[in-house]
Copies of this chain bind each other. A is one copy, B any other.
Amino acid sequence: MFQLLRDGEPRTRAELATVTGQARSTIAARIDQLMSSGLVAPAGDAGSTGGRPPVTFAFNPGSRVVLAVDLGATHAHLAVTDLASQVLAERSATISIADGPDAVLGWVADAGAELVAEAGRPLTDLASVGMGLPGPVEHSTGRPINPPIMPGWDDVDVPGILSARFDAPVLVDNDVNVMALGEHRAAWPDVADLLFVKVATGIGAGLISDGALRRGAQGAAGDIGHIAVHSAADVPCRCGNTGCVEAVAGGRAIARALAESGLDATDGTDVVALVRSGDVVASQAVRQAGRDLGTVLAATVSLLNPSVIVVGGQVAEAGDHLLAGIREVVYQRSLPLATQHLRIVTSQTGRRAGVLGASAMAIDHVLSAEAIDAVVG
């Protein structure tokens, strides 16, 4: 019954009884329990055809808050949101994930507690914590699995460490899955099949299929950065293989190519700055990176038949050149049936994709049918 109310619409007890097929007495008891938990609140009178108008009830997203944490190799973005992912307070900082879990999670706990206070809420209002990490994560346990750029984090019980500080459940996933969830919920809630592609130093994807994030057997779904592309056959990749798309189309790879042309570039930020300054060589390099990435995305279109591909991450900030290259190859290489309604767009949530996704993941956990059943007995 509560799942019905999550849309925010006010309903009367009678309406809830009709839609759920449950007895009026059952509905009344559940409403009482949800009201005492604060998750549901009276929402005024319904229109009436005469007599005393019946009271309506609605989901009360302000009753609790969640802490959303988006960690990258060198950045942290934290937000406190209500249960409808409205941001109440947020903070960005420069960190180094390589400082290890004790230092980083200690800082996250301190900053998170300050942010909850800044939002004007006691820590007891914190319902859950959602976190994205820049590496493979076993979602069921929240433990990183051999993360290449996170020394000291392998198999660390991240939820255990943070829930000791917050006394709340902690959900962890890799950053690209979290960004995909954030973009999907905020910008494309009615699209069932969406691919979110992050183009930064690394390249990765998050898969939304039939409306839900799909993580695969070991949580490694979407790890497209090491798929081979023709044009990169001899290019060595940090993974130990050669020819990976990341080795030619990642931010640092594009910067390296530009440096070889005599431009001053070492990472994706420099690439974006050069493109924005109107540098033609940089724009051409980004467009070629889009073509190389396009050969991989053409294969994902054939395999998954999404209706939307969202391109996010730092390099996407270079603008239309990346998308133009992607579109050029995807529309040439994919079958008409799979591309006739396909949209390829840049992220609408931008740098907020991660915290919005972490918030959604944290909220989904506390408002799941199982969690609510525990509340209402």
Distance of A248 from chain B, by nearest CB (Å): 15
List which A311-346 residues lie within 8 A (CB) of chain B: 332-338, 340-342
How far apart are the CA atoms of A338 and B239 in the complex, in Å? 14
How far apart are the CA atoms of A241 and B336 in the complex, in Å? 11
User: Which residues of chain B have C-beta atoms less than 8 A from A228's C-beta?
Assistant: 230, 295, 298-299, 333
A 207-250 to B, binary, CB cutoff 8 A, 1 in contact else 0: 10110101111111111101110100100000101000000000
Which chain B residue has the least Cβ–Cβ distance from A192?
B217
Could you tell me if B341 and A217 are in contact, using CB atoms closer than 8 angstroms? Answer: yes
In this assembly, does A205 line the interface, its C-beta being within 8 Å of a C-beta of chain B?
Answer: yes
Q: Copy number in this complex? A: 2
Looking at A59-67, A77-85, A272-280, A300-308, the stretch in contact with chain B turns out to be A300-308
Q: Are A216 and B193 CB-contacts (below 8 A) given A136-B337, A226-B335, A298-B228?
A: yes
Could you tell me if B136 and A220 are in contact, using CB atoms closer than 8 angstroms? Answer: no
Distance of A132 from chain B, by nearest CB (Å): 17
Could you tell me if A306 and B216 are in contact, using CB atoms closer than 8 angstroms? Answer: yes
How far apart are the CA atoms of A220 and B307 in the complex, in Å? 11
Q: Tell me the A residues contacting B by CB distance below 8 Å.
A: 136, 145-146, 192-193, 205, 207, 209-210, 212, 214-224, 226-228, 230, 233, 239, 241, 295-296, 298-300, 302-307, 332-338, 340-342
Q: Could you list some 14 contacts between A and B, CB below 8 A?
A: A193-B216, A207-B304, A209-B209, A217-B305, A217-B307, A220-B337, A221-B303, A222-B303, A223-B305, A224-B303, A228-B295, A228-B299, A239-B335, A303-B303
Beyond the given A218-B307, A221-B305, A228-B299, please list 15 additional residue pairs across the A-B interface where CB-CB is below 8 A. A145-B337, A193-B216, A193-B217, A210-B212, A216-B306, A217-B306, A217-B307, A218-B337, A218-B338, A221-B303, A222-B303, A223-B305, A227-B333, A239-B335, A299-B299
Q: For the complex of A and B, list the 3 residue pairs with the smallest distance between their C-beta atoms, beginning with the closest.
A: A216-B305, A217-B307, A220-B305
